[in-house]
Structure 1
Amino acid sequence: MKPASVRRIPSNIHCILPTQQKNNNMPFSLEKVIRPNILALTPYRCARDDYNAGILLDANENAYGPSLVKDLEGDLNRYPDPYHVRVKERLVKFRQLQSTNNLFLGVGSDEVIDLLIRICCVPGKDKILITPPTYGMYSVCAQINDVQVVKSNLNVENGVFQLRTDDIAACVKANPDIKIIFLCSPGNPTGTCLKHDSIREVLESGYEGIVVVDEAYVDFVAGENGSVGTWVDKYPNLVVMQTLSKSFGLAGIRLGIAIANPDLIQILNNTKAPYNIGTPSAQIAYDALSPEGLAKMEEYKSRLLAQRNVLLEKLQNFPVAGVGKILGTNDSNFIMVQILNGQSEPCNVRADKVYKLLAETRDVVVRFRGKEYGCTGCLRITVGTEQENETLLAKLEEVLKESA
């Protein structure tokens, strides 16, 4: 077994009280947002935080190694690096960030969502704000943590799916216990980027809580509405979430990313489980962020975008009746399309029937989203391979005829 190189963890990682970032233009203060018990938290600490090489007899590991028939890369009998700085260094370069201190790695974005709610919101008292239609885990995590949810619906007229910033401001004024605003861009299930000016308006509104921008699909965006990750240097209350699940095709390793000011990242590190990201997941992420891995990601992304264009063209000119508008601006690796009834109206009954027929009789699984605000009669269809998309279109034609 090769010993790891000695690495000392920067001492500021374990400070309990943050040194607040100065920004005279912002009213934000971590002490006002983070729960007092979290600010006072003494994080779990082990000897490996200071020393990670030599004869390691500190963590009650199995010194003989893992009981695997086939060897995998990494010393799997040892607990993983608590912070995975190597992975963060590659993310800093890829996302053009200031420092690894701007990054937190979680078990998928869902861990980031849950941690943010837990560190900011007092159960039974505080609230979050969401903008339906949006990702469902914000509400699920809030409910698990006994945190109320305030809704400021997107402007859904003609499928624009944009923020109503005046309504968000009104909600915040009426609910001073809103500690976090969750914005999804590109949206899920909308597939639509929020306008950067509207995100900036929320950030500069005087709101004293955390603003989270969920960018799970950001790599599929063309043009100027890409990532706002570099904004964390200007806005200390901004958290940008990303993931390796989508454009990198690594949903199976469950690696989510939070980009934020170092003080908030420090609190997330203080609060997380000591070894939340496993060694195999970290190694795969490190390889995916190599120059060769990034080139492969770009290749696959280009192929997905080409297939997205094919699906858009085919669905907009579908040979049988029943396919309506494609909603949103399609800034993601999926399409949201309306299914129509005999009166050419978006119809949940028929959309649900088509969804079930595809899955149960044609082995094609899409997602029924008709119960989401502004998404009546909608199916969300992930862009597949060329063959998968051809099969989808053929089977969709069949079940539309059956469900007429």
Structure 2
Amino acid sequence: MPILGLAPSNGPSYPAHFDIEAVIRPNILTLHPYRCARDDYQDGILLDANENALGHSIPTSPKSTSNLENLAGADESLDFLSLDLHRYPDPAQREIKARIARLRNLTTVVGVPKDDHVFLGVGSDEVIDLLMRVCVAPGREKVLVTPPTYGMYGVCVQVNDVGVVKVPLNVEGGAFQLRLEEMKKAVDEDPSIKLIILCSPGNPTGTLIPLADIQDLLEYPKFKGVVVIDEAYIDFSPPGSSAVALVEKYANVCVLQTLSKGFGLAAIRLGVAIAQPPLIQILTNAKAPYNISTPTASLALFALSPSALAVMSSRLATLNASRTTLLAALQSLALLGLGPAIGGNHANFLMVPVLARAGGEPDNVRSERVYRELAEHEGVVVRFRGKEHGCAGCLRITVGSEEENRVVVQKLTEVLKRI
């Protein structure tokens, strides 16, 4: 049956074993999406959406007005209180999608951005939840994950009452890579698996999954579902690492990205899914009517402007250089019982195990004591990750500013000396 809102395709999708209509739950395929007042018209005397025609009620004195002219440079400016906050936001947000498509090189040969390959959500978390809701039948079908991985996958699995199959990563030597044969075996034994969710760079490992391994899963004929690649930290990784490069060819891949990390906009909650139009249309049909707010959209447009992207690029370079410096400083604490960093170090954080003693084994008890001492007595908050698969004794440390990195090394040195 045709996907509502999507023009019929002129040819088969690739790979041949994948049929999106067999993946999407039947009730979703037949879903008629909610029609927003702004789907048809966005200009004129708007008396169709039961909005407050007199505008918002926030005082506009100079003290309450927030002008963000310097955020993206002189080419664009924004005064939040001048926005039409009494109107519902644009449900399509095509300009944001077009800018993301340009940024991620999703363009046709004539340079037209493929905004129909982009979906926007309230953070990647909304997209993860939505993918489970449209693809995986509650109580009957399953999701495959590869621990250690992002904890929200497990939360969404439980909320949506779907099953989970876990195929842990190969953690030997701190590799944190896919065990492809074991994953294929799991698929062979359980055809109810509809999604495989991978995190690259991994959280909490910071390790990239090679594109060749992802392609191996996409080409595997016995897996009929969608491979989801969560790339929240991809902007901190070397060029050419992103699975977006696979979207043009493969209909069974969905890449998740976000403005929270590399863009430094965690507060605005904007997540991105990049996939071929059929899956994007399904997500669009099932989403809430106005999921992206006007302030969020306005800030996202700033962040995707040329001058803001230049600032972002400069800051990414600084953070990656700081990551190298911080890694070297942490390695100097070996005699105090801090082990060498594990994982791939391709994100904006590092994973380091606290050992029982210099040259000893990772020690969760000591590590958790160090974590709490830093937070409660030294004013430095890192993340204890020792209970995750392959991460015994580990603390996850976000790369901070130059001064923050200096302080964390200093305080960690002091705490390790007394614990």
For the superposition of Structure 1 and Structure 2, which TM-score range results when normalised by the shorter chain? over 0.9
SS in structure 2 of the partner of residue 183 of structure 1? strand
Q: Which amino acid aligns with 1:52?
A: Q
CA deviation profile, 1:338-386 (whole Å, cap 9, x unmatched)? 1000361101111111111111111111000011100000000000000
Give the Å deviation of 1:228: 1.4
User: Is this contact kept in 1: 2:231–2:257, CA < 8 A?
Assistant: yes
- Out of 311, 316, 324, the residue aligned to residue 331 of structure 2 is 316
Distance 2:402 2:190 in 1: 48
Q: Which residue of 2 aligns with 1:105?
A: 120
Give the Å deviation of 1:48: 1.7
Give the Å deviation of 1:23: 2.6
Give the Å deviation of 1:26: 2.4
Distance 1:217 1:21 in 2: 34
Give the Å deviation of 1:232: 1.2
- Out of 402, 411, 416, the residue aligned to residue 386 of structure 1 is 402
Give the Å deviation of 1:77: 0.5
User: Is this contact kept in 1: 2:15–2:251, CA < 8 A?
Assistant: no
Q: Which residue of 2 aligns with 1:68?
A: 58
Shift of the 205–284 alpha-carbon distance from structure 1 to 2, 3 Å rule, reads: same
Give the Å deviation of 1:317: 1.4
Give the Å deviation of 1:27: 1.0
Q: Which amino acid aligns with 2:96?
A: V
Distance 1:182 1:109 in 2: 13
User: Is this contact kept in 2: 1:181–1:211, CA < 8 A?
Assistant: yes
Give the Å deviation of 1:19: 5.1
* Matched positions, count: 391
Distance 2:14 2:169 in 1: 31
SS in structure 2 of the partner of residue 350 of structure 1? helix
Distance 1:294 1:321 in 2: 41
Q: Which amino acid aligns with 1:377?
A: G
Name structure 1 gaps, 5 residues minimum: 1-11
Shift of the 232–108 alpha-carbon distance from structure 1 to 2, 3 Å rule, reads: same
SS in structure 1 of the partner of residue 387 of structure 2? coil
Q: Which residue of 1 aligns with 2:69?
A: none
The aligned runs of 1:342-361 (5 Å cut-off) are 342=357, 344-361=360-377
Q: Which residue of 2 aligns with 1:175?
A: 190
User: Is this contact kept in 1: 2:4–2:29, CA < 8 A?
Assistant: no
Q: Which residue of 1 aligns with 2:171?
A: 156
Distance 1:306 1:388 in 2: 14
- Out of 372, 378, 391, the residue aligned to residue 362 of structure 1 is 378
CA deviation profile, 1:253-282 (whole Å, cap 9, x unmatched)? 000000001011001000000000000101
Shift of the 160–18 alpha-carbon distance from structure 1 to 2, 3 Å rule, reads: farther
CA deviation profile, 1:323-351 (whole Å, cap 9, x unmatched)? 00200120000000010003611011111
User: Is this contact kept in 2: 1:323–1:339, CA < 8 A?
Assistant: yes
**Structure 1 residue 38 and structure 2 residue 53: aligned?**
no
Q: Which amino acid aligns with 1:123?
A: P
Q: Which moved more, 1:162-171 or 1:69-78?
A: 69-78
- TM-score scaled to structure 2, two decimals? 0.91
Give the Å deviation of 1:40: 0.6
The aligned runs of 1:268-283 (5 Å cut-off) are 268-283=283-298
Distance 2:313 2:16 in 1: 37
Q: Which moved more, 1:22-31 or 1:274-283?
A: 22-31
Name structure 2 gaps, 5 residues minimum: 66-79, 108-113
Shift of the 214–81 alpha-carbon distance from structure 1 to 2, 3 Å rule, reads: same
SS in structure 2 of the partner of residue 212 of structure 1? strand
Distance 1:18 1:275 in 2: 26
Q: Which residue of 2 aligns with 1:341?
A: 356
Give the Å deviation of 1:318: 1.7
Distance 1:87 1:111 in 2: 17
User: Is this contact kept in 1: 2:383–2:395, CA < 8 A?
Assistant: yes
Distance 1:244 1:305 in 2: 17
Give the Å deviation of 1:17: 9.4
CA deviation profile, 1:276-328 (whole Å, cap 9, x unmatched)? 00001011111111110100101111111111011111111127511002001
- TM-score scaled to structure 1, two decimals? 0.94
Q: Which residue of 1 aligns with 2:301?
A: 286
Q: Percent identity?
A: 55
CA deviation profile, 1:91-136 (whole Å, cap 9, x unmatched)? 1111001310000000000000000000011111110000111111
User: Is this contact kept in 2: 1:133–1:372, CA < 8 A?
Assistant: yes
Distance 1:80 1:338 in 2: 46
- Out of 77, 84, 101, the residue aligned to residue 93 of structure 2 is 84
User: Is this contact kept in 2: 1:26–1:204, CA < 8 A?
Assistant: no
Q: Which residue of 2 aligns with 1:9?
A: none
**Structure 1 residue 196 and structure 2 residue 205: aligned?**
no
Q: CA RMSD in A?
A: 1.6
User: Is this contact kept in 1: 2:3–2:278, CA < 8 A?
Assistant: no
**Structure 1 residue 209 and structure 2 residue 218: aligned?**
no
Give the Å deviation of 1:171: 0.6
- Out of 223, 232, 253, the residue aligned to residue 238 of structure 1 is 253
Q: Which residue of 1 aligns with 2:244?
A: 229
Distance 1:285 1:200 in 2: 31
